[in-house]
Amino acid sequence: AQKVTQAQTEISVVEKEDVTLDCVYETRDTTYYLFWYKQPPSGELVFLIRRNSFDEQNEISGRYSWNFQKSTSSFNFTITASQVVDSAVYFCALSSGGSNYKLTFGKGTLLTVNP
């Protein structure tokens, strides 16, 4: 069975602070994909990143960075110099290689960035 745990239910920071959102996953598959999605207050679900299990290189995109560590089954997401527009619910998700359209989502982390 697959499982994604986002232990942080809510995080509140002040603008310009760095913040890391944790994601721990469980799967028996050796081939799998990991995702992060953003759900702003308007309700849409915005794709941020997808990584496969064979690529452990960390990735940086502007103020966003992702740290994938197979040894600890974690795929953490860091926002540097947070902004008010970053306020949203962030979901981590997992799918296995055989049926990678079946995303298993975590419960999400509500990030509030205060001015």
Nearest of 69, 67, 86 to residue 78 by alpha carbon: 67
Give the interface segment with other proteins, choosing from 19-27, 34-42, 58-66, 73-81 (CB under 8 A): 34-42
Cα 93 to Cα 76: distance, rounded to the nearest angstrom: 11
Smallest gap from Cβ 43 to other proteins, in A, equals: 6
- Candidates 34, 106, 111, 113; binder of other proteins (CB under 8 A) is 106
Give the interface segment with other proteins, choosing from 11-19, 37-45, 62-70, 76-84 (CB under 8 A): 37-45
Spatial contact of 66 and 50, defined as CB atoms under 8 Å apart: no
Cα 77 to Cα 92: distance, rounded to the nearest angstrom: 9
List the structure tokens of 51. 């990584």
Contact status: 100 vs other proteins (CB under 8 A): yes
List the structure tokens of 27. 């799967």
Smallest gap from Cβ 58 to other proteins, in A, equals: 18
Contact status: 26 vs other proteins (CB under 8 A): no
Contact status: 57 vs other proteins (CB under 8 A): no
According to DSSP, the residues that pair with 111 across neighbouring strands are 11, 88
According to DSSP, the residues that pair with 13 across neighbouring strands are 113
Name the residues that contact other proteins, by CB under 8 A. Answer: 4, 35, 37, 42-47, 50, 52, 91, 93, 99-103, 105-108
